[in-house]
Structure 1
Amino acid sequence: MAEPVLIWGAGAIGGILGAYWARAGVHVLMVDIVPDHVTACATAGLSIEGPVEEFVQVVPCVTPDKLEGTYSRIVLAVKAQATSAALSQLAPHLAEDGFVLSAQNGLNEHVIAQHVGTERTMGAFVNYGADWLGPGRILFGNRGAVVVGEIDGTTRTRTTEMHGLLQIFEPEAVLTPDIWAYLWGKLGYGAMLFATALTPDSMTRNFADPARGPALIGLAREVMRIAVAEGVDPKPFNGFEPAAFLPGASDDGAHQSLADLATFNSKTAKTHTGIYRDLAVRKRKTEVDPQVGAVAAIARKHGIETPLLDRLVILIHDIEEGRREMSVDTFHELTKVLK
C-alpha cells in the first residue's frame, strides 16, 4: 500500500480534502486534536453535508499523541495561529525528503519554511466554503478557487503530483508558478471578510451595502499597496479583482468587484465567514493577528501606514474579549477612520 498523505488538521479544509481523497481510493491519514471528531471520522465516518455533495466517508484519523512513523507528504490545515505548535508536533514525522503543503489562510508558508526549510515547503490557496459543524460533520457550502505552487516559483514532480491530488477534489484546481500572487490576493479579500465579521450580517449583505463599501474598499486598497511594495502582482479569483484596488485604480472597478463578491457569496450555503463562527458560535480567538496583523507588520517595514487594517485588528480583539458586540455600528468604527 502506498504511503498515506498525512493531513494535519481535519476541520473544514483538511476534513473535506481527506474525505474526497479517501473516497477516491487515495491512502489518507488525518490528525486532529479533538478526540470525538477523530473517533467519528475513523469509525462511523466523516459526513460531508450541504448543496455541493453529500456523502459519508470513513477516514483513518488519530490524535497527535497516537501518530507513528514518517511521511513524505503532509498537508497542514490548522488555523494560522496554531501553525508553529502544529509544526513542532509534526516535524519528527516529516520524512527527510518530505514536504509540508500549507492549506491555510495567510502567509503561513513563511512560518513553515522557518521550521522545516524552504525546500520542504509548498504553498496552496483555497477559497471553497466550508464549516466544521461538530464531531464527524462538515458543511461543504460552495466550490471555490484552489491553487497550488512551489514558494520558489519552480514546478517539480511533487508539485504536479499534488496538483493531481487536488484535482480529485476540485477539477478546476490550478498549478501556478506564482503562488504568492494568489496568497496576497486572498489577503486583500480576507481583510474585507474580517470586516464583515464585525456584524451579524451575511457576507453578501455586507458586500451589497453601499454604506459599507468605502471601508471594505479601503481595506483591500491597503493590502494591495503592500503587495505592490513586496513585488507581488496579485491574481483575481471568485469575484475578487485585485487590479480594482491597486494604487490609481478607479472607484468604479472597486465597486464592481464588491458587487461580484456579493453575487459569488449569495450562492453558498456558507453565508457567514469562519471568522464570524469563531466569534459568534465557537467563542474563540480568530486568525486576525497572523493574517491582518501580519500584513500590517509587513507594511511598517515599507513605511506604509495602514489605519484601516490597524483599526480592524483592534475591533476584532474587542469582540473576542467582550468589549464590543457584533453590529453595524461596530463596522462603522472602520468608516470613521476614513473621515
Structure 2
Amino acid sequence: MNENTILIWGAGAIGGTLGAYLARAGEDVLLVDIVAPHVTAMQQSGIAIEGPVEAFMQPVRACTPDAVRGQFKRVILAVKAHHTADAIQTLAPHLHADGSVLSAQNGLNEITIAAAIGAERTVGCFVNFGADWLEPGRILFGNRATVAVGELDGSTTPRVQDYLRMLQIFEPEAVLTPNIWGYLWGKLGYGAMLFATALTPASMAENLASAGHFDIFHQLGREVMAVALARDVQPLGFNGFVPAAFLPGATPEAARQSVAAMAEFNRHTAKTHSGIWRDLAVRKRKTEVDAQIAVIAELAQQVGIATPTLRQLVTLIHDIEDGRREQSWSTLDLLLP
C-alpha cells in the first residue's frame, strides 16, 4: 500500500462523502467500512453522491476492516461516536509510526482517540455539512456548511496544513483554527438541540421554529455552554448558533435570535432531519446520545454543574430506542421546564 494513501475508516455519511470528493480529485483513498453490502456496492459501482449540492458517481477502493493491509500516515476516522473506541483499537496496527488520526466525527472523540494513541498523533476536526447514508453505495449530500481543522494544542504543523488541503478539496471554505475545541464545544451546544428535534417526527427547522419549545433549546444551550466555560473553552459559533447568546448574562432575546437563525439555516437543506432522527425513525438503531450528550452531563458533574435538561434528553432518547416512547411532540414537551 502506498504510504501516501489516505485511509478513511467509516464510509457512511461523512466518510463516504469526503472519500468520494478526494478520490474524484485524484487523491489515493481507501475506504473502510464494517457494512459488507456497502463495501460490495462501492467495489462494484463506486459511491453515488446525490442531492442539490452536486450529484456524481465516483469509483473508489473499499474494503472491510479485516482486509486492510499495511500502515498509513493519514487516517480520517468517520465512524459514529459510540464506535470510536473499538474502531481506534482495530485501526491502530495500521497507523504508521509517523502517522496521525483526524476525527471527522460529532462529539468529543478526540479525547478517546488521544487516550488510545496519544494526543500527539490526534488531529481535531469539525464538520457540519448535511449528509445521510441512504443505502449501500448511495449518500445524500444535503448542504454545505462549516468545516474546520486544528491541532489539539492549537499549533500549526505541516500535517494539519495537509489535512486542511484535503478538506478544502471537499469544502473550499474549510479553515485552519487554533481553537478546534471551541468549534467542537460549539457543535455540542448545537448538537444537543438537534438531539431534541429527534424526539418528534418534524424537521429540524420546524422544531427549532416552534415558539412553544424555545425554552427547551435555550436551556440545552445554556447547560452545554456552562460546561464548556468550566473547562476553559471559548466556544465558537457557526451556521446560526451563537455561543454568546447562551452564556451567563445573555438575554433570552439573544438566544431566541440564535435559535431562529438555526431554524432558518436548516430550512435550506435537503437533509431535513438530523442523523439522530434517522437512526431512530429509519435505521432503528442506537444513537450517539451517550457518546455525545451523556458525556457532557458526566463532565458537568465533575465540576458541580447541574444539567437536568441534558440528562432528561438522554433518558428520552433511550426510551425511544428501547420502544418505551414514540417520536412525538408530546415527548418533546417532557423537556419543558
TM-score interval for Structure 1 and Structure 2 normalised by the shorter chain:
over 0.9
Indicate the SS of the match to 1:43.
helix
| Paired residues of 1:318 and 1:324 also in contact (CA < 8 A) | yes
| Paired residues of 2:244 and 2:250 also in contact (CA < 8 A) | yes
Indicate the SS of the match to 1:124.
strand
> Where do residues 115-130 of structure 1 align in structure 2 (5 Å cutoff)?
115-130=116-131
Measure the CA separation in 2 of the matches of 1:302 and 1:210. Answer: 32
**Residues 182-217 of structure 1: CA deviation (Å, up to 9, x unaligned):** 000000000000000000000000011100110111
Aligned to 1:172: 173
| Paired residues of 1:53 and 1:140 also in contact (CA < 8 A) | yes
Measure the CA separation in 1 of the matches of 2:10 and 2:43. Answer: 14
Aligned to 2:263: 262
Gaps of 5+ in 2: none
Aligned to 2:112: 111
* Paired amino acid for 1:88: Q
Deviation at 1:41, TM superposition (A): 1.3
Aligned to 2:232: 231
Aligned to 2:96: 95
Indicate the SS of the match to 1:334.
coil
Aligned to 1:323: 324
Identity level (%): 62
* Paired amino acid for 1:132: W
* Paired amino acid for 2:316: L
Indicate the SS of the match to 1:233.
coil
Normalized against structure 2, the TM-score is what?
Answer: 0.99
| Paired residues of 1:5 and 1:73 also in contact (CA < 8 A) | yes
Aligned to 2:219: 218
Aligned to 1:196: 197
Gaps of 5+ in 1: none
Normalized against structure 1, the TM-score is what?
Answer: 0.98
Indicate the SS of the match to 1:227.
helix
**Residues 259-298 of structure 1: CA deviation (Å, up to 9, x unaligned):** 1011100000000000000000000000000110000000
* Paired amino acid for 2:200: T
| Paired residues of 1:71 and 1:95 also in contact (CA < 8 A) | yes
**Residues 46-87 of structure 1: CA deviation (Å, up to 9, x unaligned):** 000000000000110000000000000100000000001101
Aligned to 1:25: 26
Deviation at 1:2, TM superposition (A): 6.1
* Paired amino acid for 2:53: V
Indicate the SS of the match to 2:31.
strand
Aligned to 1:185: 186
Measure the CA separation in 2 of the matches of 1:110 and 1:183. Answer: 11
Measure the CA separation in 2 of the matches of 1:271 and 1:204. Answer: 7
Measure the CA separation in 2 of the matches of 1:4 and 1:166. Answer: 15
Measure the CA separation in 1 of the matches of 2:12 and 2:305. Answer: 35
* Paired amino acid for 2:109: N
Aligned to 1:304: 305
| Paired residues of 1:2 and 1:27 also in contact (CA < 8 A) | no
Deviation at 1:42, TM superposition (A): 2.1
Indicate the SS of the match to 1:189.
helix
Deviation at 1:123, TM superposition (A): 0.4
